Structure 1
């Protein structure tokens, strides 16, 4: 693809895009290492829905925040089949990250009410914090060629520091996610 057809991000629009937060513990924590990519993604989407619930004061009698996200909405969001939607929700339930409370038939409205969904807080242990700190320390080691003439030339040309650490982070996440570095 050439630059002529590339859709560059413009400075004025950089903050208009909304993002889902992906908790690092879901990728790095030992407790969550068996979760599928789909389950991790769904947790992030559901976590985002919690902020909407708080705005609408969707809190039950025990002061627990709940939200409503129908299977139909999930299917449309990710273009998943019924089976895939149910499988991923079940995976979160099995990991004690999602609880569904059936609301059943409401005689006042004459309709079946959608399930209330409750999302669990993630468990972060002292070991998780220590491991994250150790990983950050390892990736922060200085590079052996940081004073090379080529790098100095690049710095002089752009007057901007080079972000050399991003390559270490990329290798680290490839190793964590895929078990490889290339």
Structure 2
């Protein structure tokens, strides 16, 4: 097969699964196969849809439905391989623990809780995932005042220094999902205000926007 090149902004016309960079670069996730990482990205995207549809249990946890047949289709794998990949992610089957499956019975598909990969990132005993969870519960966007209360920073969080420029608005994309768009002067101002908490603020905002479908 012979593929054509991308020209100008052709690459922006597609939709993408967002694979968090930390799943590729951090040693904590080295045991996962490439299929498992791709599947997690697919499941992660589905959580945003579940949030919009109010698929939230009594403990305020988002859950999804992603059948074995869907796994086979999205990965292009056999039934046996699809089961193996799911098991890699599920702690109850000896996996890493990025998902938790709950049986519904009566022939219904399993409910899947997609676990927060950011919850293993902490600094000084501070779990930044809990900060994002609090934002979801209140259904409010994080404010500078909230972020100022967070102490310390995490050197393991990649700052995503604007790999994908937005030429239309003169902004660059930041955050784990590359969905926080800021101009250089805005970055400078935020860093002056937040100092070491800047990276944490961007990651929290990025995770919040991804889960709610909002834009910044």
Structure 2 residue corresponding to 1:65, chosen from 62, 66, 72 = 62
Of structures 1 and 2, the larger Rg is shown by: 1
CA contact 1:25–1:124 (8 Å) conserved in 2: no
Aligned residues between the structures: 125
Distance between the aligned counterparts of 1:26 and 1:126, measured in 2?
18
Is the counterpart of residue 115 in structure 1 residue 98 in structure 2?
no
Tell me what 1:172 maps to. none
Is the counterpart of residue 23 in structure 1 residue 20 in structure 2?
yes
Distance between the aligned counterparts of 2:43 and 2:65, measured in 1?
9
Is the counterpart of residue 40 in structure 1 residue 54 in structure 2?
no
CA contact 1:67–1:118 (8 Å) conserved in 2: yes
Distance between the aligned counterparts of 1:131 and 1:57, measured in 2?
32
Distance between the aligned counterparts of 1:57 and 1:132, measured in 2?
30
CA contact 2:88–2:96 (8 Å) conserved in 1: yes
Distance between the aligned counterparts of 2:61 and 2:157, measured in 1?
30
Secondary structure, aligned partner of 2:113: strand
TM-score under structure 2 length normalisation: 0.52
Tell me what 1:142 maps to. none
CA contact 2:35–2:75 (8 Å) conserved in 1: no
C-alpha displacement at 1:104, in angstroms?
A: 0.7
Distance between the aligned counterparts of 1:38 and 1:50, measured in 2?
19
CA contact 2:50–2:63 (8 Å) conserved in 1: yes
TM-score under structure 1 length normalisation: 0.61
> Does 7-16 or 23-32 show the bigger shift?
7-16
Tell me what 1:140 maps to. none
Tell me what 1:95 maps to. 96
Deviations 1:84-143, CA, capped at 9 Å, x for gaps: 1110110101211110110011xxxxxx2111101110122349942566xx9xxxxxxx
C-alpha displacement at 1:9, in angstroms?
A: 2.9
